[in-house]
Structure 1
Amino acid sequence: MQFLKEETLAYLNIVSPFELTMGSQKKVQRRMAQASSNTELDFGGATGSDIDQEEVVDERAVQDVESLSSLIQEILDFDQAQQIKCFNSKLFLCNICFCEKLGSECMYFLECRHVYCKACLKDYFEIQIRDGQVQCLNCPEPKCPSVATPGQVKELVEAELFARYDRLLLQSTLDLMADVVYCPRPSCQLPVMQEPGSTMGICSSCNFAFCSLCRLTYHGVSPCKVTAEKLIDLRNEYLQADEANKRFLEQRYGKRVIQKALEEMESKEWLEKNSKSCPCCGTPIEKLDGCNKMTCTGCMQYFCWICMGSLSRANPYKHFTDPASPCFNRLFHAVDVNGDIWEDEIED
Structure 2
Amino acid sequence: MPAIAEIEAVATNHLAEQQEELLALEAIYPDRFNYRYHIDRNIGTAHVFVVAEDGEWWNIVTRNADRKGKEPELGEATGEMVLQVRHMPPVRIDFTLPPGYPYSTPPTVRLECEWIDDDALRATEALLRDAWAKERDMILFSWLDMLADIRSFAQLTDPLIVSNEIAWSIRSFDQMVREADFARTLYPCPVCMEEVRGSDCLRLACGHAFCAGCLTGYFSLMIQEGRLASLQCPSIECQPEPHKPDEPELRYLLGDALADRYAQLQTQRSLEADPTIVWCPRPTCQGPAHCDATVGDPNRRNGAMLAVCNQCYYSFCTGCNRGWHGPVSKCRLPDDAGIQVDLADEYASGYQEERRKLEQQYGRHTIRKLVRAQLGDDAISDADDGCDDDDPRKPRKTATDNAVQENETAASSARPRRIGRIAARRETRKWIHENTKRCPQCRSQIQKWHGCNRMQCFVCKGHFCWLCLKLLPITDPYSHYRSQGESKCAGLLFLGVDET
TM-score with structure 2 setting the length: 0.38
1:218 corresponds to which residue? 324
Larger RCO: 1 or 2 (CA < 8 Å, sep 6+): 2
Distance 2:324 2:176 in 1: 56
Is the CA contact 1:122–1:157 (under 8 Å) kept in the aligned structure 2?
Answer: yes
Give the count of matched residue pairs. Answer: 230
Of stretches 214-223 and 125-134 in structure 1, the one that deviates more from structure 2 is: 214-223
Which of 191, 216, 228 pairs up with 1:122? 216
Which of 273, 282, 288 pairs up with 2:414? 282
Which of 269, 280, 284 pairs up with 1:183? 280
Distance 1:220 1:156 in 2: 50
Is the CA contact 2:288–2:311 (under 8 Å) kept in the aligned structure 1?
Answer: no
Of stretches 156-165 and 114-123 in structure 1, the one that deviates more from structure 2 is: 156-165
2:100 corresponds to which residue? none
Aligned residue runs from structure 1 range 1-348, under 5 A:
14-16=74-76, 18=78, 68=164, 76-111=171-206, 113-141=207-235, 145-195=242-292, 199-221=305-327, 222-224=329-331, 225=333, 227-231=339-343, 234=346, 239=351, 251-252=360-361, 254=363, 263=380, 266-276=398-408, 281-284=413-416
C-alpha displacement at 1:233, in angstroms?
8.1
Is the CA contact 1:135–1:169 (under 8 Å) kept in the aligned structure 2?
Answer: no
Distance 2:399 2:406 in 1: 10
Is the CA contact 2:291–2:306 (under 8 Å) kept in the aligned structure 1?
Answer: yes
Identity across the alignment (%)? 26
1:40 corresponds to which residue? none
Aligned-partner residue type, residue 191 of structure 2:
I
C-alpha displacement at 1:158, in angstroms?
4.9
Distance 1:76 1:252 in 2: 63
Distance 2:224 2:180 in 1: 33
Aligned-partner residue type, residue 120 of structure 1:
C
C-alpha displacement at 1:200, in angstroms?
0.9
Is the CA contact 2:279–2:288 (under 8 Å) kept in the aligned structure 1?
Answer: yes
Q: Secondary structure at the match of 2:192?
A: coil
1:305 corresponds to which residue? none
C-alpha displacement at 1:101, in angstroms?
0.9
Distance 2:169 2:413 in 1: 81
C-alpha displacement at 1:163, in angstroms?
2.7
C-alpha displacement at 1:139, in angstroms?
2.3
Computed over aligned residues only, the root mean square deviation of the Cα atoms, in angstroms, reads 4.4
Aligned-partner residue type, residue 288 of structure 2:
P
C-alpha displacement at 1:217, in angstroms?
2.1
C-alpha displacement at 1:136, in angstroms?
2.7
Is the CA contact 2:349–2:398 (under 8 Å) kept in the aligned structure 1?
Answer: no
Where in structure 2 are there 5+ consecutive unaligned residues? 1-71, 81-113, 119-156, 294-298, 372-378, 384-396, 418-500
Distance 2:173 2:406 in 1: 81
C-alpha displacement at 1:272, in angstroms?
2.0
Distance 1:162 1:152 in 2: 9
C-alpha displacement at 1:79, in angstroms?
4.3
C-alpha displacement at 1:175, in angstroms?
1.8
Q: Secondary structure at the match of 1:164?
A: helix
Residue-by-residue CA offset, 1:128-161 (whole Å, 9 max, x unaligned):
2222223431222458632122233223435433
Give 1 or 2 for the bigger CA radius of gyration: 1
Is the CA contact 1:234–1:258 (under 8 Å) kept in the aligned structure 2?
Answer: no
C-alpha displacement at 1:284, in angstroms?
3.9
Cα separation, partners in 2 of 1:181 and 1:14, compared to 1, 3 Å: same
Is the CA contact 2:348–2:399 (under 8 Å) kept in the aligned structure 1?
Answer: no
Distance 1:77 1:233 in 2: 69
TM-score with structure 1 setting the length: 0.51
2:21 corresponds to which residue? none
Aligned-partner residue type, residue 126 of structure 1:
S
C-alpha displacement at 1:219, in angstroms?
2.6
